[in-house]
Amino acid sequence: MSPPRRRLVGGLDLGGTKIQAVVMDGRREVIGEAKSATPTTDGPQDVILALVSTMGTACADAGVEVSDLTGVGVGSPGAIDTRRGVVTGARNLPGEGAPIRVAAGFKTLADTRAYVDNDVTVGVNAEYALGAGRRSKSLLGVWWGTGVGGGLVLNGEPWEGRGAAGELGHVVVKMNGAQCTCGRRGCMEAYAGRGAMELRARASPLA
């Protein structure tokens, strides 16, 4: 018999190279987890299918069904419409930044509610509430991965820009510099992101 729905939640981290999923009980203890590769071809629907599939694997690890979850929280790169649960502008995901309708996809494919926010925003808020920053009034969080992301809490309030405004990885650090995946030149991500560093390493004479 599955545990009561109110006690179970799912979490998904959608990255440029991998998807990680966990199932947690009412005590915030992880009871199931899974990891898969992020799709690299096709489009937004393939990302949704991969998210639902990875969540399903984590639920199987916990001995429950996806439909047993009260909801699923998704952290994703890109600009997020939190009300509709839609991701846009994530150029390190299939579809070249086309809308990924995560909430609608989970409702259709898994009969489960999904809540979506920017991955770094979620991480910074979690560190502020539960982790390294829980005793601080203000916090700057910076994440290095496929790209570079940052988030800010000032005097207990999350500071968020409109759309993708304030994305640390896309602050221009060198005028007319290296080409970034966002289409501009000289962004921090074009130098400090793992994807950019891998490209430079492959182009090196020593590679």
Instruction: Look at 14 and 145; give whichever has higher pLDDT.
Output: 14
Q: Under DSSP, is residue 123 helix (H, G, I), strand (E, B) or coil?
A: helix
Choose the CATH number for 5-120 among 3.30.420.40, 3.40.50.150, 3.40.50.2300, 3.40.470.10.
3.30.420.40
The CA distance from 207 to 93, in Å, is 26
Contact indicator for 2, 45 with CB cutoff of 8 Å: no
Q: State the pLDDT at residue 1.
A: 47
Residues 86-127: tens digit of each pLDDT: 999 887 788 878 999 999 999 999 999 999 998 888 999 999
Laid out side by side, the sheet with 114-118 consists of: 30-37, 18-24, 9-14, 72-76, 114-118
What are the tokens at 6?
Answer: 């109110």
End-to-end CA distance of the chain: 55
Domain map of the chain by residue range? 5-120, 136-203
Give the mean model confidence (pLDDT) for residues 134-139. Answer: 90
Q: Do domains 5-120 and 136-203 have the same CATH topology?
A: yes
Predicted confidence band at 2 (pLDDT cuts at 50, 70, 90)? low
Q: Which class does domain 136-203 fall in?
A: alpha beta
